[in-house]
């Protein structure tokens, strides 16, 4: 009897082998596609009254060099096959450690003359997120936000509780003085003088301290958004908030949907600006929603929110973003925004002013 079935068995074996080969080919195609999927990264160092005439060539060069270092560090991780979340953290760590930006070392001071830091990070594939607020001793807040994402059932931790969690996670602690710089101390003094009617907010000569320009609007948060070889988007934001903030004020930066958002089905966004407005406008999520629901390009969606919605609310600031096809976008309604990107063609852009 068995000889009757032999051809059928052979056919079955052949079919099985063909399916196996097709599957292996499909899998390696997928791996190849993943390997070749374009990567891109975009970063910001805050938006505000950043004007060429108020900045020395030396300071401008410092800003450009640090932005270049941060965007390149993130990009190197992406091209080596690393994840967008790791790229975002690497870029933000460089900006947090630099005294130039309002995050980590060099962050702005609150009303009492101390530094309180907020940060958040989100992963577009899983919609997992981690956020921390009102930290005073954690050196790199974005890393703690990432630990919340990875190792906590919660999304947002604040103040003393967040620092207990940081201790349990083995984080490095620093004294609050580590974050403080003379520039920020002078900035607080000036804001308090304006508040008390002792100085004019309009006088541009008052905006200069040494070689630095005071950012009268008190903006200067840092952020990064990236897409990796696997097509996964991540976005992160880290800040000292706003100069002279009081009563445990927390801005938009650690609020998922306001200062930070990432969803592989649309885009990733990190914002910088007057947080009170950015929270109410749900800026980061609104941009991704316009991409998803209205079918707008990332640039169109970002411009609608930043140039129309925020302007009509009289809110200053800007955003950076990356969509799921690795297009990058910047949009800001202030005089300038520290920003840099390395796009899917590997081209680098480092810019500060509106007309750069």
Q: Does 272 bind ligand ASP (CB under 6 A)?
A: yes
Size of the site for ligand ASP (CB under 6 A): 16
Binding segment toward ligand ASP, per CB under 6 A, in 7-15, 66-74, 183-191, 246-254: 246-254
Q: Does 102 bind ligand ASP (CB under 6 A)?
A: yes
Binding segment toward ligand ASP, per CB under 6 A, in 54-62, 63-71, 152-160, 213-221: 213-221
Q: Which of 267, 96, 121 has its CA nearest to residue 178?
A: 96
Q: Find the shortest distance in angstroms from Cβ 221 to ligand ASP.
A: 3
Q: Does 244 bind ligand ASP (CB under 6 A)?
A: no
Q: Find the shortest distance in angstroms from Cβ 160 to ligand ASP.
A: 20
Q: Does 239 bind ligand ASP (CB under 6 A)?
A: yes
Q: Find the shortest distance in angstroms from Cβ 227 to ligand ASP.
A: 23
Q: Does 46 bind ligand ASP (CB under 6 A)?
A: yes
Q: Which of 344, 338, 355 has its CA nearest to residue 70?
A: 338
Assign 9 to helix, strand or coil: helix
Q: Does 123 bind ligand ASP (CB under 6 A)?
A: no
User: C-alpha angle 289/323/263, rounded to 5°?
Assistant: 55
| Site mask for ligand ASP (CB under 6 A), range 277-316, x = bound | -x--------------------------------------
Q: 């500060």: which residue's tokens?
A: 352
Q: Does 220 bind ligand ASP (CB under 6 A)?
A: yes
Q: Does 219 bind ligand ASP (CB under 6 A)?
A: yes
Cβ distance 342 to 41 under 8 Å? yes
Q: Which of 124, 273, 321, 336 binds ligand ASP (CB under 6 A)?
A: 273
Q: 41: part of which helix (H) or strand (E)?
A: strand 40-48
Q: What is the CA radius of gyration of the chain?
A: 23
Q: Does 275 bind ligand ASP (CB under 6 A)?
A: yes
Name the residue nearer to ligand ASP (CB basis): 102 or 213. 102
Binding segment toward ligand ASP, per CB under 6 A, in 63-71, 126-134, 251-259, 322-330: 251-259
Q: Find the shortest distance in angstroms from Cβ 242 to ligand ASP.
A: 5
Q: Does 241 bind ligand ASP (CB under 6 A)?
A: yes
Q: Which of 184, 236, 172 has its CA nearest to residue 210?
A: 184
Q: Which residues are catalytic?
A: 221
Cα(316)–Cα(273) distance, rounded to whole angstroms?
6
CB atoms under 10 Å from CB of 20, counted, come to 10
Q: Does 252 bind ligand ASP (CB under 6 A)?
A: yes
Assign 83 to helix, strand or coil: coil
Burial class (CB in 10 A: 0-12, 13-18, 19+), 131: buried
Locate 190 and state its tokens. Answer: 């000036």
The β-bridge relationship of strands 260-262 and 156-158 is unpaired
Name the residue nearer to ligand ASP (CB basis): 124 or 259. 259
Q: Which of 39, 134, 36, 22 has its CA nearest to residue 77?
A: 39
CA distances from residue 131 to 108, 147, 228 in whole angstroms, order as listed: 19, 9, 22
Contact residues: ligand ASP, CB under 6 A: 46, 102, 219-221, 239, 241-242, 251-253, 259, 272-273, 275, 278
């Amino acid at each position: 009897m068995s000889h009757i079935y032999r051809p059928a068995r052979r056919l079955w074996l052949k079919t099985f082998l063909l399916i196996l080969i097709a599957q292996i080919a499909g899998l390696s195609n997928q791996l190849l596609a993943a390997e070749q999927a374009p990567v891109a990264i975009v970063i910001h160092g805050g938006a505000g009254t950043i004007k060429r005439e108020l900045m020395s060539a030396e300071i401008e060069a410092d800003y450009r060099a640090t932005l270049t270092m941060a965007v390149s560090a993130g990009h190197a991780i992406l091209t080596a096959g690393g994840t967008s979340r790791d790229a975002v953290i690497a870029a933000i760590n460089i900006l947090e450690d630099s005294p130039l930006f309002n995050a980590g070392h060099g962050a702005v001071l609150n009303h009492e003359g101390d530094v309180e830091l907020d940060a958040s990070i989100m992963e577009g594939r899983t919609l997992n997120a981690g956020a921390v607020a009102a930290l005073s001793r954690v050196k790199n807040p974005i890393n703690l936000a990432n630990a919340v994402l990875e190792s906590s059932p919660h999304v947002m931790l604040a103040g003393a509780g967040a620092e207990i969690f940081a201790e349990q996670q083995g984080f490095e602690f620093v004294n609050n003085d580590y974050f403080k710089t003379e520039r920020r101390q002078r900035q607080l003094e000036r804001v308090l003088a304006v508040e008390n009617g002792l100085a004019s907010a309009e006088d541009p000569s008052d905006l200069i301290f040494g070689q630095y320009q005071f950012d009268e609007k008190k903006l200067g948060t840092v952020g990064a958004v990236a897409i990796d070889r696997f097509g996964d988007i991540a976005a992160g934001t880290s800040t000292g908030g706003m100069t002279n903030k009081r009563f445990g004020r927390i801005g938009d930066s650690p609020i998922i949907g306001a200062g930070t958002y990432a969803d592989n089905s649309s885009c990733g966004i990190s914002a910088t600006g007057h947080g009170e407005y950015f929270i109410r406008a749900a800026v980061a999520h609104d941009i991704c929603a316009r991409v998803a629901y209205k079918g707008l390009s990332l640039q169109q969606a970002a411009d609608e929110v930043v140039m129309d919605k925020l302007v009509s609310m009289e809110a200053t600031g800007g955003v950076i973003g990356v969509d799921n096809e690795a297009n990058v976008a910047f949009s800001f309604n202030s005089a300038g925004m520290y920003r840099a990107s390395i796009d899917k063609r590997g081209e680098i852009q480092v810019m500060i002013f509106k007309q750069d």
